Amino acid sequence: MDDIDSAIVRELQRDARQTNRELARRLGIAPSTCLERVRALRARGVITGYRATVDLRALNRPVQALLTIRIRPLNREVIERFKAFLVSLPEVLNIYVVAGGDDFLVHVAVPDLDRLHTMLMDSVFKRREVVDCRSSVIYQHVANDVIGPLTV
């Protein structure tokens, strides 16, 4: 990754819908050079895809929470089965399998606290492998939308 590659990645994260011509103009390079570099970044796996960002409030999911979950027995089969279960829940945004005192960190978004409670009681707590679950309501969520390489 050189400075131009980093700038391309930064610009595409800021606005992936811009045309190659606009991107090249912003970076001060030829459109053919820009297109070649974007293709190379995709081929190297630096750029893995493009997506639309949605407003959770507009989707009637303004309440977000983080769930910390412990399961037992702790083995690969149980972990994979529990991950598949979590993916099937429409409230789930992100799933992290973590080390330490908890096994999963799960980011959910729901219409209200009643729906969070219902999801926990009717879905998560009914699973035999769940031995502990704690929820933390998120007051504010700030994401770093532009990720660049770290310098050494």
- Residues 123, 70 within the same domain: yes
Distance CA 147, CA 119 (A): 33
Residue 146's pLDDT is 86
Distance CA 104, CA 3 (A): 37
pLDDT tier at 149, thresholds 50, 70, 90? confident
- Judged against a pLDDT cut of 90, whether residue 22 lies above it is answered with yes
Buried b (16+ CB within 10 A) or exposed e, 120-152: beebbeeeebbeebebeeeeeeeeeeeeeeeee
- Residue 77 lies in domain: 63-138
Residues 30-74: pLDDT tens digits?
999 999 999 999 999 999 999 888 999 999 999 999 999 999 999
The number of folded domains in the chain is 2
- Residues 99, 34 within the same domain: no
pTM of the model: 0.85
- Judged against a pLDDT cut of 70, whether residue 152 lies above it is answered with no
The enclosing domain of 72 has a CATH number of: 3.30.70.920
